Structure 1
Amino acid sequence: MEKFLAKFNHSQASSSTNGNPSSLIDDLNLDSLKANPGKRVPIAHYNNPRIKDEVRKHYIQKRPCQPQMDSYPPSKIGKRVRQFCKIWFEGPYSKWLEYSVEKDSVYCLCCYLFKDDFFHGSTSEFYTKTGFRSWNRALERFRKHVGDVNSIHNKCFNKMLDLSNHHQSIQVVIDKHSQKVKNEYRMRLEASIDVSRLLLQYGLPFRGHDESESSINQETLKAIIGDLNGDYFGILVDESKDISHKEQIALVLRFVNKNGEVVERFIGLVHVSDTSACSLKKAIYSLLSVHSLSPSKIRGQGYDGASNMKGEINGLKTLIMKDSPSAYYIHCFAHQLQLTLVAIAKKHLDVEDFFDHVSNVLNVVGGSFKRRDLLRDHQAKKLEQLFESGEVQKGQGLHQERGLQRPGDTRWGSHFKTLDSFIVIFSSIVHVLEMIELEGSTSSDRNQAEYLLTKIKTFKFIFVLHLMLKVLAMSNELSMILQKKDQDIVNAVEFLNITKKRLQDMRENGWESLLDDVSSFCDVHDILIPKLDESYFPGKSKRKSSGVSYAHHLCVEVFFVVIDVQLQELNDRFDVVSSDLLLGMASLNPVNSFCNFDKSKIMTLAKCYPSEFDYGKIRDLSYQLDTFIIHMRSGNPKFSNLQRIRDLAKALVEANLAETYSLVYLLVKLTLILPVATATVERAFSSMKHIKNEVRNSIGNQYLNDCLVCYIERDVFRNVSNDVIIDHFQNMKTRRGQV
């Protein structure tokens, strides 16, 4: 045994029982173990698996406690006097039936030794703890206790037989092999874990050992929770259906880790049958409880704005704020950006018509595999012509094949991608429509293609196409910035203001350049350019003039109005949080040597978090801020070139000043905790669809969750060592073999 396991030492083993007073005492003396089944220490109290096996072997070698007496204590049951019968020690019950004289009760040796391996609870403990003494029904109850071949009793009995057969025990087998064999076994075990890592990192679930899967998942989550270190956090939540139409909610934590870095970590997916705000709150709190996280630590909430999430009266936002008043809510910035576009389409008739035409073109051109192939073939031929003429250069990664993505009201950037592709492959779209117009299988198809051609080959359509692309390019750029995990609320608002300024600049100075782009595009694609100084005739009528020129209509009634509506929607939708919060947070921004620093605004910010800043801490913060700003502006190179609040948090930790300026650092953390966008949650759902797809649609909830945690948090998962996983696996339940 010494080759595989260190020789058993009673004193060492007993000291590893974690100080539990109900565990085995300091030194295990096998001779002191009680033979009387009514006085034995429960086997579950021996926490160390090796000590537990020593105890089991001792009792097996001693055989069942079966005191032979001429007569046993009588008991009156009903109207008759009954007692234990010595003959019950013989026959089918001889190898496990035990009797306690003091308790006048019978027990089951094998269930006492092994039942906790199969069953945990307080039911049916007659044969292990309390004893059985209904002598009038003894044989009937003995047979019922034994049960069928798969009963708990028979499983325990078989384990007792296995352990009693010394030559077949695992420890004896291991004892016969050398340390070299043990090392080779561990090498194979680590290789299995590495294969599991590889599969999970690429989102490929496998039907491996459930314990191994759970071990990896639990250690990944343990690392994440350890990084949080019991500090404040924000939550990002969203709901979606999986491939099997189960409603799932994903929960992401946003917090500042020990290094002063703001991170967003996925911690779980929960199936919910009811998506009401109360049910969602219960599911979120339950998942937090699993990881010993208190809802009172929530300091920010981020959702996509669904009514059951943000409702003022009974929404999830309100329910959580009742428990944590400082858990301020942020409507996902990226979703709000997308909704501004939807609002424009609803408020401007020309834009609404434009997107209707775009959608119809996508449906017709992408309506069959044949039409999509025709589109691709024409793109390839067109590109080859451009290569030959020298208009474009060849190169790796250039000129990738373009498809037509359908826009969606809640899909970030989808409208921008659609319009960008529409412009790039416009000639191929026209070619496919012309082919359908000539060779369409039905008159309806031919007529529809003809109608769409007349709509898209107009100057006005091309004008709106270029206008919306320019507007969406600015929004899309902002959307990409907002989706970064480490983006903070102050920086996000700053980028939002920059986008507004760019839109205003486009309104004031972008008309001529837009008109030039549209005219050049029309020249290339043989689209008629109208005389802009002539009267504009709206709709199909060529008789009734609108009273304005074509240029006035495009500039004032389309160009200016679209940009004005976009600016108005951005102002209306991005109310963010209260002005006190935002102004105070902006005052902590370290850019340009803390040029926005304003002590009064920062003090007002602190008062928004009454649980963290009582009267005493408000007073201390005032003194601390005076020293802090002098220190930050002293010319120290570590703080002179900081650009964002997250840079300040990291610099304070690296300079060991987080404790010195603990109250300022707390405010910085609370600022960073406020979420900006639910991109991390959306990515979790994308991963869910990758793992649980049509081929693997029967994955269970827990198994799906385990795979997702390892797949999404791959960077954490990679840093969990094999030794940690093996140790966790080893300690999940009692095992005789140690690796």
Structure 2
Amino acid sequence: MGVVLRYVNKHGCVIERFLAIVHVSDTSAISLKKAIDELFAKHKLSLSRLRGQGYDEASNMQGEYNGLKALILKENSSARYVHCFAHQLQLVVVVVAKSNRIVSDFFQYVTMIVNITGASCKRKDKFRQLEHDKLVECLEKGYIVSGKGKNQEINLKRPGDTYWGSHYMTIIRLMSMWTSVLQVLENVYDDGTNDDNNGIAASLIDKMESYEFVFMMHLMKSLLGITNELSLALQQKDQNIVLAISLIKTMKVRLQKLRKEGWENLLDVVNKFYSNHMIPILNMEENMRTRGRSRHNGQMITNFHHYRVEIFYEVLDTMIQEMNNRFSELSTEVLTCIACLDPKDSFPQFNIGEFSIIEDLGSLAKKMVETGKNTVFSLVYRLIELTLILPVVIASVERVFSAMKIIKTDLRNRMGDEWMNDSLVVYIEKDIFATIENEQILQHFQQMNTRRIQLPPLVCMSGSGTSSSIKK
């Protein structure tokens, strides 16, 4: 279990520090609570002074009655729980992808395209050569310019099931490498050595050249682009819950605006993509038979109705509804009152000119410390501190587990928990350890009486086919 502390220092700055990796016998809420108690006792921290706790969506963490959240709240009712905003945002996208059949099919086909394109070294080499030739042609025609760090080689990014931000990058690269991907699939089809691969390649080519696939690709690019921007903004270490609430509200406004005004622009972009790749554009006024309806009842709808109502509106409505459901705490009384502290409207209670240029709560806390107003308005500053320490996302903890792959390698696979924890502290909090001089470290170890003495150097000598070591 990774533990990260979030607090406001004496200068009014929000700080997140990695505390420790704790070995637990099991992942039950009781075991996790016991481990936290022991860790707090070891570092002389009091659970009664805890004011916020944040986890992901796992039941053993955020369970209403028996989760770790509930166990801590029973002991300290002031340790307010905040569900990780980034995880909630990801759940919104997951629900949209799973509840809508067309969206679900689209992502399944995208995964198949990426997999079959890079299934062998031969296909990877062909794909790389096609992209290289296209890059050289663009440079010769002056469409792009060369320079240091530009035009780096990239490949199709495989989407991850647990990280939906990767799907956005996959779509971006698929659109930019469209012709190369189609060429590789055509080569697989023309190869003729494997009937299964031939059939899959043929169906994927037909799918990629269908209007529905291209339409979904551009629609999901727009939606995932909005969620990806928000996800990256939420993962900043100094992010506070007031600004996070503002970002969520901004995203809801953007989704509503996209639903109201984005149809025409999306249609133009899709049609332009088709024209650039010399594919016939779909006539929106033509009728189409909807899937799942009887062929005998003769019910027909236009392409316009299908794409605008059954796809565009339905997907956006589902996402907007899920945003309102998942972020229901935005309307709670506590967070609504906290949001009133935001100095965006010049915070008239202070009525001081130097506070008028402050735009966020973190800057307000720093300015109060600088001007000494944190002692004059001590209760207001206490509320601001509470707002700043409430966890927004658990990105810092996720980064701890990512760092474990760097510290505990195949060559260090037998390192103990204490050694791994100490190594992680040095690696993660490198900004602190960078301020420590090497001489201080040397003196510290030299003053430790329990250390072994330095061994004298050895000189190796060889002769007449043998070798020996003697002390200098």
> 1:719 is aligned with what amino acid?
T
Given that 1:328 and 1:577 are in contact with CA atoms closer than 8 Å, whether structure 2 keeps it comes out as: no
Q: Does 1:449 align with 2:180?
A: no
Q: Distance in 1 between matches of 2:48 and 2:192?
A: 64
Partner of 2:362: 646
- In the alignment, which of 310, 321, 324 is matched to residue 62 of structure 2? 310
After TM superposition, give the deviation of residue 724 of structure 1 in Å.
4.6
Partner of 1:685: 401
- In the alignment, which of 713, 723, 728 is matched to residue 429 of structure 2? 713
CA deviation vs aligned residue, 1:139-163 (integer Å, no higher than 9, x gap): xxxxxxxxxxxxxxxxxxxxxxxxx
> 1:642 is aligned with what amino acid?
I
Given that 2:290 and 2:301 are in contact with CA atoms closer than 8 Å, whether structure 1 keeps it comes out as: no
Q: Distance in 2 between matches of 1:299 and 1:427?
A: 54
Superposition map of 1:193-342 within 5 A? 249-342=1-94
Question: CA 1:568–1:370 in structure 2 vs 1: closer, same or farther (change >3 Å)?
Answer: same
Partner of 2:305: 552
- In the alignment, which of 103, 127, 132 is matched to residue 351 of structure 1? 103
Query: What's the TM-score once normalised by structure 2's chain length?
Result: 0.91
Q: Distance in 2 between matches of 1:440 and 1:345?
A: 34
After TM superposition, give the deviation of residue 408 of structure 1 in Å.
2.5
> 2:335 is aligned with what amino acid?
L
After TM superposition, give the deviation of residue 313 of structure 1 in Å.
0.9
Q: Does 1:671 align with 2:387?
A: yes
Given that 1:252 and 1:268 are in contact with CA atoms closer than 8 Å, whether structure 2 keeps it comes out as: yes
Given that 1:339 and 1:409 are in contact with CA atoms closer than 8 Å, whether structure 2 keeps it comes out as: no
- In the alignment, which of 558, 565, 582 is matched to residue 335 of structure 2? 582
After TM superposition, give the deviation of residue 553 of structure 1 in Å.
0.8
Partner of 2:469: none
After TM superposition, give the deviation of residue 407 of structure 1 in Å.
2.1
CA deviation vs aligned residue, 1:646-675 (integer Å, no higher than 9, x gap): 111111111122222221111110111110
Given that 1:488 and 1:671 are in contact with CA atoms closer than 8 Å, whether structure 2 keeps it comes out as: yes
Q: Distance in 1 between matches of 2:164 and 2:408?
A: 23
- In the alignment, which of 359, 374, 378 is matched to residue 658 of structure 1? 374
After TM superposition, give the deviation of residue 421 of structure 1 in Å.
1.3
Superposition map of 1:506-655 within 5 A? 506-539=258-291, 547-576=300-329, 579-594=332-347, 629=349, 632-635=350-353, 637=354, 639-655=355-371
After TM superposition, give the deviation of residue 547 of structure 1 in Å.
2.2
Q: Does 1:381 align with 2:133?
A: yes
Which range moves more in the overlay, 401-410 or 702-711?
401-410
Q: Distance in 2 between matches of 1:305 and 1:473?
A: 23
Q: Distance in 1 between matches of 2:170 and 2:424?
A: 30
**Which structure would you say has the larger RCO, counting Cα contacts within 8 Å and 6 or more residues apart?**
2
After TM superposition, give the deviation of residue 289 of structure 1 in Å.
2.0
CA deviation vs aligned residue, 1:463-497 (integer Å, no higher than 9, x gap): 00000000110110000100000000010010111
After TM superposition, give the deviation of residue 323 of structure 1 in Å.
1.3
Q: Distance in 1 between matches of 2:37 and 2:436?
A: 27
Q: Distance in 2 between matches of 1:736 and 1:395?
A: 55
CA deviation vs aligned residue, 1:611-641 (integer Å, no higher than 9, x gap): xxxxxxxxxxxxxxxxxx1xx2232x2x111
Partner of 2:410: 694
State the secondary structure of the residue aligned to 2:314.
helix
For the pair shown, which has the larger CA radius of gyration, 1 or 2? 1
> 1:304 is aligned with what amino acid?
D
Q: Distance in 1 between matches of 2:79 and 2:383?
A: 14
Partner of 1:164: none
After TM superposition, give the deviation of residue 735 of structure 1 in Å.
7.6
> 1:537 is aligned with what amino acid?
R
> 2:311 is aligned with what amino acid?
V
> 1:698 is aligned with what amino acid?
R
CA deviation vs aligned residue, 1:581-637 (integer Å, no higher than 9, x gap): 111111110113027xxxxxxxxxxxxxxxxxxxxxxxxxxxxxxxxx1xx2232x2
How many equivalent residue pairs? 452
After TM superposition, give the deviation of residue 732 of structure 1 in Å.
4.7
After TM superposition, give the deviation of residue 397 of structure 1 in Å.
2.9
Partner of 2:146: 394
Identity %: 46
State the secondary structure of the residue aligned to 2:376.
coil
After TM superposition, give the deviation of residue 267 of structure 1 in Å.
1.3
Q: Distance in 2 between matches of 1:394 and 1:546?
A: 56
After TM superposition, give the deviation of residue 540 of structure 1 in Å.
10
Structure 2 unaligned residues grouped into runs of 5+: 454-472
> 2:351 is aligned with what amino acid?
R
Question: CA 1:383–1:538 in structure 2 vs 1: closer, same or farther (change >3 Å)?
Answer: farther
Q: Distance in 1 between matches of 2:100 and 2:109?
A: 15
State the secondary structure of the residue aligned to 2:374.
coil
Given that 1:278 and 1:316 are in contact with CA atoms closer than 8 Å, whether structure 2 keeps it comes out as: yes
State the secondary structure of the residue aligned to 1:420.
helix
After TM superposition, give the deviation of residue 321 of structure 1 in Å.
0.9
CA deviation vs aligned residue, 1:150-209 (integer Å, no higher than 9, x gap): xxxxxxxxxxxxxxxxxxxxxxxxxxxxxxxxxxxxxxxxxxxxxxxxxxxxxxxxxxxx
Question: CA 1:427–1:484 in structure 2 vs 1: closer, same or farther (change >3 Å)?
Answer: same
> 1:259 is aligned with what amino acid?
H
Given that 1:256 and 1:673 are in contact with CA atoms closer than 8 Å, whether structure 2 keeps it comes out as: yes
Given that 1:304 and 1:331 are in contact with CA atoms closer than 8 Å, whether structure 2 keeps it comes out as: yes
Which range moves more in the overlay, 514-523 or 409-418?
409-418
Q: Does 1:462 align with 2:214?
A: yes
Given that 2:288 and 2:301 are in contact with CA atoms closer than 8 Å, whether structure 1 keeps it comes out as: yes
Partner of 1:607: none
Partner of 2:229: 477
> 1:592 is aligned with what amino acid?
D
State the secondary structure of the residue aligned to 1:251.
strand
Question: CA 1:647–1:684 in structure 2 vs 1: closer, same or farther (change >3 Å)?
Answer: same
CA deviation vs aligned residue, 1:55-100 (integer Å, no higher than 9, x gap): xxxxxxxxxxxxxxxxxxxxxxxxxxxxxxxxxxxxxxxxxxxxxx
